Structure 1
Amino acid sequence: MDHSDYYPDTGTAGLNVLVASSEAHPLVKTGGLGDVAASLPMALRDLGHDARLILPGYPHAKKLVRELKPVMDLRMAGVVGNVQLYSGLLPDRDLPVYLVDAPAYFCREGNPYTDVSGRDWGDNPERFLLFCRVIAHVAMGLPSLNWRPQVLHCNDWQTGLAPALLRDQDDRPALVFTIHNLAYQGLFDRNTFDRLALPGSLWSVTGLEFHQRMSFIKGGLVFSDQVNTVSPRYADEVRTPRFGCGLDGLLRQLGGRFRGILNGIDYRIWNPADDPALPQAYDTEHVHLKGENKLALQTLFGLPRDENAFVLGHVGRLVEQKGVDLIIAVLPQLVAAGRVQLVMQGAGDRALEHALQEAAAAHPEHVSVFVGYDETRAHLIEAGCDAFLMPSRFEPCGLNQMYSLRYGTVPIVHNTGGLADTVVDASDAALAAGTATGFLFNDPNPDGLWYAVEQALRMRNEQPERWRSLILAGMHADLSWQASARHYVDFYAEAMAAREMLAHAATA
């Protein structure tokens, strides 16, 4: 599927864009946001725009950034300890990055949002308010940087207060806000709002107040010039009560200021023809070589080496949203099906982790689980599996189904969000047209998932030519960030035009 099906191409001269994110691969990553935050600005640079990235100065990030040097000290009222702004480059590409170094807030073990036991950091509101304050400073231009963005592009609740802090600045940049997952909103109580000493005017239905609580994400939704989410289908879904998480009314009110833009994937990182994580490279002309990666995957996960086994994979957060409980529910059928194997990698809900580990212990020839995240393993799972399971109950965009398509691993997905926008179901018509790339099921329950798995298994075993056509159609699809970045450039132009209209209205 070509992303250009969705959007016009209007063209825009080179822009200065500051992308703000709480994570970016390879500095820190807990999910798809980390991939997007690194890949989009690099794709924008490839199109001739000066895109730069800002994120918190986590210890691991400070170790990895190349040519890291201090830019300036920031004196900020009410902040514990020192705050410094550093600049450098991502370790694997020439993307300028700014790190907000505040040891009292960001120098700690665990991931960016939770401690080692999985509990949210108690001072997350203070941590990400500080981050947003620095984002706002950089967005307005700092003399020591000799650079000023025309567009500030914020992502998810951790950056949602930055647009709110900039709302009254006459010469602010255009503000764009992207929702990667509306279920995570940065909700805190009224006492937290008071403790943060934010302007009292922000405590209102038209500000940050959300059912008597404070919502970080509302700051991005209400005060940005343009708002988007990461697929057209999810943009439609979140404007309904079922998927809107209480914000569907606000999103409907945004009207034309809100839309969906598909994510892409970085072909420099996700390319089976040139992937250092794979023992055997392959492409569409040599797709038969993919089987060597299956054998390596089976060895790595301690499963019997069997090139004819039907190997299913899953990489992701082990949470109910991702449908992990549905995978657990169909394990008896998978085991009973004979030469079927399942490899999974991820972390999340402890009960789901435990259930998967128990299943792997009970069926060591069929199930293997790695609790945690390892990038090399993730690449080998994508390359070594026959099919990839993504039974998400909702999925704003999803990246793993796109990695799977790129690697010739047939996705089996729930018909929702970005999964529906990127996978073409293996219907008779799509198969005849040569456009089918995977299997979609409508009902997010064990029966729906198992029906799709059975379809895939039957086609692989009984219709090998059709199965091969699915593989090749997926590998030929254009899922590049270059395609998506062009649509973001048009979106930025609309945000700048909206900003100009506001400025003229204010002076009229």
Structure 2
Amino acid sequence: MDINKVLYISQEISPYLPETPMAELSQKLPQGIQEKGIEVRTFMPKYGCIKERRNQLHEVIRLSGLNITIDDADHPLIIKVATLQPTRMQVYFIDNEDFFLRGQTAKDLEINLMPDDNDERIMFYVRGVVETVKKLRWDPNLVHCSGWVSALAPIYLKRIYADDPSFKNAKIVYSIFDDKFEGTLYPRFLEKLKMEGLTDEDLSSIAAAPVDATALNKLAIDYSDAVIQASPEIDLELLEYIKASGKPFMPYPGNTDYTDRYAEFYHSL
């Protein structure tokens, strides 16, 4: 497959959040792929701890203003953008006061200490990314999702947006990290997903019990075309699940000089 446009849906990107292996990879990989002449678009949530003035974020008026309905409540979508130097790669931020609170000191305050909101937060984030890409009129032929905050993207793209011209030919890659949330998502999570247009059959793999991080990652694997191990060690249950799926799989490629390996994996799909 000839890959020339890659959409990155990331949980966190350096330097906008404290540097972690996930944040560093989500910065360096898109930049490296862009330097190979491939067009990229990169998205992350606008967590409340991200300082707009310091990071030179500004709102993109033409992309903002859409209301996204979740569980019969409307939530306005605000799109902001910043430019990473020296490659001048643009990073788009999905923002909303209901889900990404102002003045928070850490991302963890939102996704770990307010777990009751995580179901709608990740639904809003993925919907926001997809709707923004459609507004950009930019059709990726590969979508790379990183981190559990992006875990709904594969099922949304394969089911809800399956016939959308922007995504119907795109391959979906999901990266598994050793990062997870504690506990389970809100008990009405499946009900809310069905209101989005997903069916009992679509959600059968997570219907039996409350959805924890492992179940959410398995759902992402189910609807992805390929999977990457992005941490040196990941949950053994997930590793076995990936292998049993028979899907193209890239083991951990190391933490340096990995751009070529990712590019080769993309093109192999």
TM-score by length of 2: 0.80
Is residue 101–residue 110 contact of structure 2 (8 Å, CA) maintained in 1? Answer: no
Distance 2:85 2:56 in 1: 5
- Does residue 15 in structure 1 map to residue 4 in structure 2? yes
One-letter amino acid matched to 2:185: F
Distance 1:163 1:186 in 2: 22
Q: Which residue of 2 aligns with 1:471?
A: none
Q: Equivalent of 2:174, from 159, 173, 177?
A: 177
Q: Which residue of 1 aligns with 2:151?
A: 160
- Does residue 129 in structure 1 map to residue 123 in structure 2? yes
For the residue of structure 1 that corresponds to 2:158, the secondary structure is coil
Q: 1:55 to 1:46 in 2, by over 3 A?
A: same
For the residue of structure 1 that corresponds to 2:109, the secondary structure is coil
- Does residue 77 in structure 1 map to residue 69 in structure 2? yes
- Partner deviation per Cα, 1:278-308 (whole Å, 9 max, x = no partner): xxxxxxxxxxxxxxxxxxxxxxxxxxxxxxx
Structure richer in helix, relative to its length: 1
Aligned-residue offset at 1:21: 1.0
Q: Which residue of 2 aligns with 1:89?
A: 83
- Partner deviation per Cα, 1:158-196 (whole Å, 9 max, x = no partner): 101011111131424210100011655884254332245
- Partner deviation per Cα, 1:455-505 (whole Å, 9 max, x = no partner): xxxxxxxxxxxxxxxxxxxxxxxx33xxx111111221233xxxxxxxxxx
Alignment gaps of 5+ in structure 2: none
Distance 1:150 1:82 in 2: 28
Q: 1:216 to 1:62 in 2, by over 3 A?
A: farther
Q: Which residue of 1 aligns with 2:58?
A: 68
One-letter amino acid matched to 1:486: D
Q: Which residue of 2 aligns with 1:221?
A: 221
Q: 1:39 to 1:204 in 2, by over 3 A?
A: same
Q: Which residue of 2 aligns with 1:426?
A: none
Q: Equivalent of 2:238, from 247, 251, 273?
A: 247
Q: Which residue of 1 aligns with 2:13?
A: 24
One-letter amino acid matched to 1:62: E
Distance 2:101 2:169 in 1: 30
Q: Which residue of 2 aligns with 1:151?
A: 142
Distance 2:113 2:19 in 1: 15
Q: May I ask how many residue pairs the two structures share in their alignment? A: 251
One-letter amino acid matched to 2:107: P
Larger radius of gyration: 1
TM-score by length of 1: 0.45
Is residue 156–residue 180 contact of structure 1 (8 Å, CA) maintained in 2? Answer: yes
Q: Which residue of 1 aligns with 2:265?
A: 491
One-letter amino acid matched to 2:125: F
Q: 1:123 to 1:30 in 2, by over 3 A?
A: farther
Is residue 2–residue 267 contact of structure 2 (8 Å, CA) maintained in 1? Answer: no
Distance 1:220 1:486 in 2: 25
Distance 1:216 1:46 in 2: 33
Q: 1:119 to 1:107 in 2, by over 3 A?
A: closer
Q: 1:113 to 1:173 in 2, by over 3 A?
A: farther
Q: Which residue of 2 aligns with 1:52?
A: 41
Alignment gaps of 5+ in structure 1: 1-11, 265-478, 496-508
Q: 1:129 to 1:95 in 2, by over 3 A?
A: same
Aligned-residue offset at 1:153: 0.4
Distance 1:14 1:204 in 2: 32
- Partner deviation per Cα, 1:29-88 (whole Å, 9 max, x = no partner): 362111111111011112221122101123425334447341322221235442122333
Higher relative contact order (CA 8 A, sep 6+): 2
